[in-house]
Amino acid sequence: MSGSPERIHLDALGPDGPYRTQEREVVPDVTGRAAVELSMVPRLYARRSLAALRRAGTLPPDERTAALAEAGRLFATATLGGLSVERYQHAVARVSGLPVSLVREATGVTGADLAGAYGFAGQARPRGSRDAPHGTGNAVWIRRGDVLAALTAGNHPGLHGQWAQALALGYRVAVRPSRREPLSAHRLVTALHEAGFGTDRVVLLPTDHGVADILVEGADLAMVYGGDDVVDRYRGRTTVLPHGPGRAKILITSDTDGTRHLDTIVDSVARQAGAACVNTTAVFVEGDPAPVAEAIAGRLAGLPSLPPQDDGAVLPVCRVDTARHLEKFVHAAADGARGWLGGDTIVAELGDGSAVLRPAVFQLDRADAPQARLEMPFPCVWVAPWSRADGLAPLRDTLVLTALTSDQELIGRLLDAPAIRNLHVGDHRTDVLVPGLPADGYLGEFLMRSKTFTNGAPRGLAASTA
C-alpha cells in the first residue's frame, strides 16, 4: 500500500502478496473527494486464492496465539504499508464519517481483540470436549472446515476483531472488505502477514457482489454482514452465518423512573455515533412515553456538529446528497409520529460538501408501530408505549435489550426469549459489550463441532445395531 495525502492506494493482498489490479474502485471521503483507490479482484483470482488457502497448512496453536498478539500490537501502534496509525485513523474518519475519537477507540479495541482471540474463541468449547485427543474415549473440538470467507461491514471499524477468532481456531480466511471503508480490513490483514500468518493463510480480496458470491460458495463456511435481505437470503444455510440489523432496544417498566436512567438511555442511542448495530433504536415505556422522549431529545439536541476529524466530533458525517436522502426517508417514515427532535431537519451542512447527521427522536402511539424496527446510521430513536398486554412481541428481533425493571418474573421471560439475543438488566448501555462474552453467540459455536475420539478397546455396553 502506498499513497499521498491526496489518495491512498489499497492493493489486494493475495497468496503471493500485494496485487494491484487493472480494475480499481474509488472510495470518496465525506466531501465526495477521491480518498482511496481500491484494487478489485476478478473471479479467477478469487478462485485461485481460495485454492491456495486450502493447500496451506495450519500453524500450531502456540504460534497462532503469538502471531495474533503481535498482529494486535502492530495494528494498534505501528506504521503498516506506509500508513502510520494516526494517518490510518484520520483516513478512516474522513472516509466513513465516524468521529476520529471513535476510530482511535476502535483501534485499541481491535488490538486487544486480536491479543485475546485464542482465549475468546475457546470460550465456546463445550465442557465435555477437548482441544486435542487426551487418552481414549473422549470428545475433541474440531473445525467444521478449513476455509472461512468473511464478508465484512463498513459501518464500524471495531467489527474486524471477530473474524480473527477463526485464525485462532486454525482456519484460513478470505476477507472481503467493505467498499465503504476498506482501510481497517486492509490494515488488519497487513498486520497479520507481518506478524507471521502467511499470505496463503489470510488474504484480502476486494470484490464486487458477483465475485463475493464466489467466496461464499467456494469457502467451507462464511460470515456475511448486511441488511434484512442478506439475513433472509442465508437464513436456511447452515454454512453461512449472517449478521443483520441489531435493532437494540430499551424497556422501561412502570416500577422504574426512566428519567433517572437518562445517561444510560442517551449514551445507548448516541455513543458510537449512533452507527453501530448495538446502538438503541427503540425505547419502550410502560406508561406515558412523552416525558422520556422529551428528556432524550433535550440531551441529544446539545450535541455539536463538527467534521469527523475534529477531536470533539460525536456525530456521523456524510456527503450532503446522502444526508438529504436519509432525511427524506426518515421524515416519510415518521409520518404520524410526534417529532421531539429532528422533525424539521437532521442535516447540518459543513460547507465543504459534507453534512452532519443530527439526532432524531420520534414518539410513536403504539408498541407494534413498524417504525420501531427502523435502524438508521445515526442517532435516531423511536419512543413507544408498552403494556403487559403487548407482551414480548415488540421486544423481539433484537441483538441487545436493556431492561430497566425490577420485575424478576419479566426478566426471566426476557432471558428465555430466543429472539432477544442479549439481555442487560439495569444501568448497562446496549452498546457496551463485555470482553470475552458473546456479542451474538460465540463465533466458535458456528465454526466448530465436537467429535468422538476412541483409540483402544471399547468400554461399556455395545450400542444396539438393531
pLDDT in tens, 413-436: 999 999 999 999 999 999 998 777
Confidence category of residue 3, pLDDT binned at 50, 70, 90: very low
Q: Which residue has the higher pLDDT, 280 or 232?
A: 280
For residue 136, what pLDDT is reported?
61
Is it the case that residue 252 has pLDDT exceeding 90? yes
Is it the case that residue 462 has pLDDT exceeding 70? no
The separation between the first and the last C-alpha atoms of the chain, rounded to the nearest angstrom, is 64
Give the angle 43-47-52 at the CA atoms, nearest 5°. 145
Q: How far lies 254's CA from each of 284, 288, 385, in Å?
A: 11, 9, 11
- Using left for φ > 0, alpha for ψ between -120 and 50, and beta otherwise, residue 274 falls in left
Decide: 337 and 364 in contact? Cβ < 8 Å: yes
Taking CB atoms within 8 Å and a gap of at least 24, the contacts of 287-291 are 287/254, 287/385, 288/385, 289/363, 289/364, 289/383, 289/384, 289/385, 290/338, 290/363, 291/258, 291/259
- Span 152-182, pLDDT tens digits: 998 899 889 899 999 999 999 999 999 999 9
Which of 276, 245, 269, 275 is closest to 382 using CA atoms?
Answer: 269
Q: Which residue has the higher pLDDT, 57 or 40?
A: 40
Which of 21, 79, 387 is closest to 208 using CA atoms?
Answer: 21
* Residues in the chain, total: 466
Which of 288, 230, 277 is closest to 254 using CA atoms?
Answer: 288
Q: Which residue has the higher pLDDT, 166 or 136?
A: 166
Share of the chain above pLDDT 90, in %: 83
Q: List CB contacts of 205: < 8 A, sequence separation 6 or more.
A: 12, 14, 41, 45, 46, 49, 174, 175, 176, 211, 215
For residue 57, what pLDDT is reported?
87
- What's the CA gap between 444 and 141, in Å, rounded? 10
The domain ranges of the chain are 2-244, 248-425
Which of 61, 282, 296, 36 is closest to 169 using CA atoms?
Answer: 61
- What's the CA gap between 148 and 236, in Å, rounded? 18
Grid look-up 425493571 returns 405
- Using left for φ > 0, alpha for ψ between -120 and 50, and beta otherwise, residue 203 falls in beta
Is it the case that residue 457 has pLDDT exceeding 70? no
One-letter amino acid of 103: V
Distance of CA 218 to the CA centre of its chain: 23
Three cell numbers, residue 281? 433504536
- Span 340-354, pLDDT tens digits: 999 999 999 999 999
Is it the case that residue 455 has pLDDT exceeding 70? yes
- Considering Cα of 161, then 166, then 171, then 175, what sign does the dihedral take? negative
For residue 454, what pLDDT is reported?
85
Cβ neighbours of 29 (radius 10 Å): 22
For residue 258, what pLDDT is reported?
85
Share of the chain above pLDDT 70, in %: 95
**CATH code at 2-244:** 3.40.605.10
Decide: 50 and 215 in contact? Cβ < 8 Å: yes
Decide: 284 and 386 in contact? Cβ < 8 Å: yes
Is it the case that residue 464 has pLDDT exceeding 90? no
- What's the CA gap between 377 and 276, in Å, rounded? 7
Confidence category of residue 437, pLDDT binned at 50, 70, 90: confident
What b/e readout covers 337-372, taking b as 16+ CB neighbours within 10 angstroms?
Answer: bbbbbbbeebbbebeeebbbbbbbbbbbeebebebb
For residue 465, what pLDDT is reported?
42
Is it the case that residue 4 has pLDDT exceeding 50? no
Three cell numbers, residue 66? 503469538
What does the pLDDT average to over 360-380? 97
Quick one: CATH architecture of 248-425? 3-Layer(aba) Sandwich (3.40)
- Span 380-410, pLDDT tens digits: 999 999 999 999 999 999 999 999 999 999 9
- What's the CA gap between 149 and 152, in Å, rounded? 9
Average pLDDT, the chain: 93
What does the pLDDT average to over 267-288? 96
Distance of CA 325 to the CA centre of its chain: 24
